[in-house]
Amino acid sequence: MNNLCLFDLDHTLLPLDSDHEFGEFLIRQGLADAVEYRQRNDGFYQQYCDGTLVLGEYIQFTTSIWREMDAAGQQALQQAFMDEVVFPAMRPQAVELVERHRAMGDLIAIVTATNEFVTRPIADAFNVPELLAVKLVRDTLGRVTGDIDGVPSFREGKITRVEQWLAQQGRQLTDFDRVSFYSDSPNDLPLLERANDPVATNPSPALEAVAHERGWRILRLFA
């Protein structure tokens, strides 16, 4: 088999938005203000849903709390988020979907607009080593600066990041017999349109309308 399978993460493999939930988690941990931080976090999430998000501004905001922590503190925060939020939200049907493609011999990657700090442990939990998330700039001491490293995996940038990743292996999208992409969001239309097996997964109303119009598969993993 010579197939490629790409997964969006939030509301696709997980029944939540890990970026937004991480902000709520920081509030519960007493690390962020429950009024001002939540208001800004909710505002950025609404911009994402509306398709108006300026990603660089959001990354500066969402990394502002934890990037001043030392490595041990950051790792403890990641683990607590996984234990409290992510593991309870993981559904067997999502894990089984990934495993089904793995069993078919597909090359698998998660392609997400959420940053690598939040999503690396989640990709590991799904046993997917290949994670194309928003990369974060680090200074000479390895500390996150709040800036985005390279092209963010967001909207059209997801195509760029996938093409860069494949090029490192001497491959391109057209080398694959089947390119599947599972996503819930119209923000992912550019990459969905490049796949020959686009799957609207737990789709938003806007994406569901496009899927019906174009005859794409619709998959509902979560009730």
Which residues are catalytically annotated?
8, 10
C-beta contacts of 127-135 below 8 A and 24+ residues apart:
127/98, 127/102, 128/7, 128/98, 130/165, 132/158, 132/161, 132/162, 132/165, 134/55, 134/59
Helices (H), the chain: 18-28, 36-50, 55-62, 71-81, 87-89, 92-103, 116-125, 156-167, 189-194, 205-214
Rounded to 10°, the helix 18-28/55-62 angle is 30
